[in-house]
């Protein structure tokens, strides 16, 4: 299936999930079963479905053909080259391509000087004034690509200014910027580019991230620490004419590495079509190069995709299927489509349909409690048939005693609830941002004083250590809360016929994983730094630290939100169940009382309860139907059955 077909079927599925969640919400509201807590949770799921993005990043040493590959994969229908692609360094800043229909077609560029101000890229995304914007008409490919050439703009500044912006100045042989005879160096003019361009895949949430060659990558911590690790797929591009060089290996090691969703592209195979070699010889040469890349990168040969981006673009633009086949791009397109969306769908399914199922299950327990209570009342009223007044008054006293006992039992419940609040406060204390902020301040100071890389690494190590300890302590708080709630649930279920389902225990595995990833990315990036912290390295380190700190904040922020939601999901069902039982006990007392006072006939009361019971049973059935639809959305897509070949 092509990427665009995969997207279609994914979108079809996603819209289905959105509709089912909407239906569940409407149904709950109609049945008067939607409390504000469930409403908020359902709202969040709906938002998660619409904000859903899929990021594909292209990473490589300069001039391997990243931009050309993007042109060939996504923009050939434009009938020309959209992103600039040329000999030497071309793309000078990380470039994101997306399509937000509410904005005009345009490129927004963040000046490189913003680096000196210490604001992180994610902060600046929310500050429109910080960006320079240029509009283009997407119907005129030539004029558009002229505008997009700006991603390659550079400027000359003094070595000092370059250093203050985090560029390493020194020996070109070491990959640093080398000053010219006037002491000036050439740096990118922009820090980041956001291109808003109409495209059917981008419209469905695909985001393409083009990156510049090695040096510029290293200088923007957010790219290494957040954008690339967060990408759903990373395409690492090599070129057949250069093979795997030392710098290719450095990019692979520092920025891509193994992991899921990593594809390796061996570009420029058309260089082998020299008119002298036979097809067989070319084939053998490609196989040999693929095997050699596979060995150096320690990957199965099947994970390496030899292509010619340039010939693929030419073939698509000129409508030449033979050339397209020869470019071998279609195999890469298939792998991308098949690897990307099914994995994405699984994650989204669990986060949305899975969550909606949890909410539905909570409501179903509540309905079951209600149904049980009606059954009890019915049995009780049945037993009153043909009984005299004294039996009825005995029953009334009994109902009253039980109701009072329940009210007394509630005191236990309130006591537990106050312990719960204390434990929750402790949890937020450990997981809170204040603690982290204090620790970060200490680290920043320690780093300022560090003169050697090991000291600096030690300071950063301590920060990570402290963050991990906070998480470990929070995990202990979570266990304590969970144990208390389990005990309470058992006690209440026994005594008051509450129907309480246990919720899955929450853990901070995701936060820990993200923290490890951040630590890993940071270490990889630093392994390349010289031992001695010269002045220019210092500016770079500083920026790097701010990048790490801002990512760490994000991790803790997310953990806080998840913890809050978990705590609410523990307490909310219990509260609504308690409300339900109380209502039922009151109802029951009322029943017996009315019969006692001969205000109602026994038959009338029985009929009323039978009716109420039927309503609840019907509601449970309807809810189960909705649950079945949600469960269907969780199942992996079935592959179309292979048609028998005649």
Ligand X SMILES: Nc1nc2c(ncn2[C@@H]2O[C@H](COP(=O)(O)OP(=O)(O)OP(=O)(O)O)[C@@H](O)[C@H]2O)c(=O)[nH]1
Does residue 205 interact with ligand X by CB under 6 A?
A: no
Question: Scanning residues 211 to 230, which ones bind ligand X (CB under 6 A)?
Answer: 212-213
Question: Scanning residues 45 to 84, which ones bind ligand X (CB under 6 A)?
Answer: 60, 62-68
Can you tell me which of 95, 226, 267, 541 binds ligand X, judged by CB under 6 A?
267
Helix residue spans in 184-276 (DSSP H): 200-203, 214-219, 221-222, 228-230, 246-251
Q: Which region among 306-314, 438-446, 522-530, 551-559 touches ligand X (by CB under 6 A)?
A: 306-314
Does residue 67 interact with Mg ion by CB under 5 A?
A: yes
Nearer to ligand X, 256 or 309 (CB): 309
Which single residue is written with the structure tokens 């990118």? 188
Taking CB within 5 to 8 Å according to partner kind, which of Mg ion, ligand X, none is near residue 470? none
Residues belonging to the chain: 646
Taking CB within 5 to 8 Å according to partner kind, which of Mg ion, ligand X, none is near residue 270? ligand X
Nearer to ligand X, 64 or 344 (CB): 64
Nearer to ligand X, 66 or 189 (CB): 66
Nearer to ligand X, 152 or 166 (CB): 152
Strand partners, 320: none
Nearer to ligand X, 181 or 274 (CB): 274
Give the span between the Cα atoms of 462 and 543, in whole angstroms: 18
Minimum distance from CB of 240 to ligand X (Å)? 8
Q: Which region among 263-271, 328-336, 522-530, 625-633 touches ligand X (by CB under 6 A)?
A: 263-271
Q: Which long-range contacts (CB under 8 A, 24 or more apart) does 431-438 make?
A: 431/470, 431/471, 431/474, 431/508, 431/556, 431/559, 431/560, 431/563, 432/556, 432/560, 433/553, 433/556, 433/557, 433/560, 435/466, 435/470, 436/466, 436/467, 436/470, 436/552, 436/553, 436/556
Taking CB within 5 to 8 Å according to partner kind, which of Mg ion, ligand X, none is near residue 310? ligand X
Nearer to ligand X, 72 or 363 (CB): 72
- Taking residues 83 to 102 in sequence order and writing x for each that binds Mg ion by CB under 5 A, - otherwise, the string is -------xx-----------
Nearer to Mg ion, 90 or 163 (CB): 90
Can you tell me which of 36, 87, 181, 449 binds ligand X, judged by CB under 6 A?
87
Q: How far is CA 352 from CA 247, 622, 629, in A?
A: 42, 20, 13
Does residue 89 interact with ligand X by CB under 6 A?
A: yes
Give the span between the Cα atoms of 381 and 593, in whole angstroms: 11
Minimum distance from CB of 189 to Mg ion (Å)? 15
Give the span between the Cα atoms of 216 and 62, in whole angstroms: 10
Give the span between the Cα atoms of 602 and 599, in whole angstroms: 10
Q: How far is CA 55 from CA 230, 237, 255, in A?
A: 8, 17, 16
Q: Which region among 67-75, 138-146, 397-405, 549-557 touches Mg ion (by CB under 5 A)?
A: 67-75
Give the span between the Cα atoms of 311 and 241, in whole angstroms: 15
Taking CB within 5 to 8 Å according to partner kind, which of Mg ion, ligand X, none is near residue 224? none
Helices (H) and strands (E) in the chain, counts: 22, 11
Minimum distance from CB of 208 to ligand X (Å)? 12
Minimum distance from CB of 241 to ligand X (Å)? 8
DSSP 174-191: GT-B---TTSEEEEESEE
Tokens of 270: 């058309």
Minimum distance from CB of 48 to ligand X (Å)? 33
Minimum distance from CB of 92 to ligand X (Å)? 8
Does residue 310 interact with ligand X by CB under 6 A?
A: yes
Q: 24 near 42, Cβ under 8 Å?
A: yes
Q: Which region among 7-15, 42-50, 302-310, 465-473 touches ligand X (by CB under 6 A)?
A: 302-310
Give the span between the Cα atoms of 266 and 65, in whole angstroms: 10
What is the contact surface with Mg ion in residues (CB under 5 A)? 66-67, 90-91
What is the contact surface with ligand X in residues (CB under 6 A)? 60, 62-68, 85-87, 89-91, 212-213, 267-268, 270-271, 308-310
């Amino acid at each position: 299936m092509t990427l665009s077909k995969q997207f279609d079927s994914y979108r079809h599925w996603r819209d289905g999930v959105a509709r089912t969640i909407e239906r569940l919400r409407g149904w709950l509201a109609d049945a008067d079963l939607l409390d504000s807590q469930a409403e908020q949770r359902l709202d969040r799921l709906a938002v998660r479905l619409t904000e859903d993005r899929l990021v594909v990043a292209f990473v490589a040493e300069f001039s391997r053909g990243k931009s050309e590959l993007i042109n060939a994969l996504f923009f050939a229908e434009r009938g020309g080259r959209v992103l600039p692609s040329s000999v030497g360094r071309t793309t000078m800043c990380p470039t994101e391509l997306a399509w937000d229909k509410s904005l005009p077609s345009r490129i927004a560029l963040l000046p490189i000087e913003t680096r000196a101000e210490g604001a992180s890229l994610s902060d600046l995304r929310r500050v429109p004034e910080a960006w320079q914007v240029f509009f283009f008409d997407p119907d005129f490919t030539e004029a558009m690509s002229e505008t997009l050439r700006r991603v390659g703009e550079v400027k000359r500044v003094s070595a000092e200014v370059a250093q203050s912006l985090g560029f390493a100045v020194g020996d070109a042989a070491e990959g640093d910027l080398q000053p010219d005879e006037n002491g000036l160096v050439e740096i990118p003019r922009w820090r980041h580019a956001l291109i808003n361009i109409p495209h059917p895949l981008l419209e469905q949430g695909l985001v393409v991230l083009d990156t510049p060659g090695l040096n510029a990558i290293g200088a923007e911590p957010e790219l290494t620490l957040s954008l690339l690790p967060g990408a759903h797929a990373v395409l690492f591009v090599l070129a057949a004419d250069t093979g795997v060089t030392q710098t290719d290996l450095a990019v692979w090691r520092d920025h891509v590495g193994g992991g899921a969703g990593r594809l390796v592209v061996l570009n420029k195979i058309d260089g082998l079509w020299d008119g002298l070699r036979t097809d067989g010889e070319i084939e053998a040469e490609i196989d040999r190069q693929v095997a050699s890349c596979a060995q150096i990168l320690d990957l199965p040969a099947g994970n390496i995709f030899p292509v010619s981006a340039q010939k693929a673009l030419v073939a698509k633009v000129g409508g030449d299927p033979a050339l397209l086949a020869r470019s071998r791009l279609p195999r890469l397109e298939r792998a991308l489509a098949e690897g990307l969306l099914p994995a994405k769908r699984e994650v989204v399914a669990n986060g949305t349909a899975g969550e909606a199922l949890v909410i539905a299950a909570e409501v179903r327990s509540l309905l079951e409690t209600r149904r049980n209570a009606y059954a009890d009342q019915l049995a009780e009223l049945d037993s009153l048939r043909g009984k005299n007044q004294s039996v009825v008054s005995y029953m009334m006293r009994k109902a009253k005693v039980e109701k009072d006992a329940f009210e007394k039992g509630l005191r236990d419940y309130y006591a537990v609830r106050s312990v719960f609040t204390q434990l929750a406060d402790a949890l937020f204390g450990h997981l809170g941002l204040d603690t982290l902020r204090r620790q970060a301040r200490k680290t920043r100071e320690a780093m300022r004083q560090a003169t050697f890389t090991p000291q600096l690494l030690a300071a950063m190590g301590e920060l990570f250590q402290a963050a991990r300890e906070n998480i470990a302590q929070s995990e202990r708080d979570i266990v304590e809360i969970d144990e208390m709630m389990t005990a309470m649930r058992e006690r209440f279920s026994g005594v008051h016929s509450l129907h309480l389902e246990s919720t899955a225990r929450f853990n901070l595995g995701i936060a820990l994983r993200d923290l490890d990833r951040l630590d890993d990315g940071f270490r990889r990036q630093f392994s390349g730094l010289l031992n001695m912290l010269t002045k220019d390295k210092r500016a770079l380190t500083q920026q790097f630290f701010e990048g790490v700190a801002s990512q760490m904040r994000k991790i803790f922020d997310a953990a806080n939100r998840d913890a809050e939601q978990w705590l609410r999901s523990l307490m909310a069902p219990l509260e609504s169940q308690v409300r339900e039982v109380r209502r039922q006990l009151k109802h029951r007392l009322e029943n017996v009382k009315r019969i006692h006072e001969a205000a109602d006939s026994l038959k009338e009361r029985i009929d009323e309860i039978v009716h109420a019971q039927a309503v609840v049973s019907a509601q449970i059935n309807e809810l189960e139907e909705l649950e079945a639809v949600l469960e269907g959305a969780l199942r992996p897509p079935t592959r179309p059955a292979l048609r028998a070949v005649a």
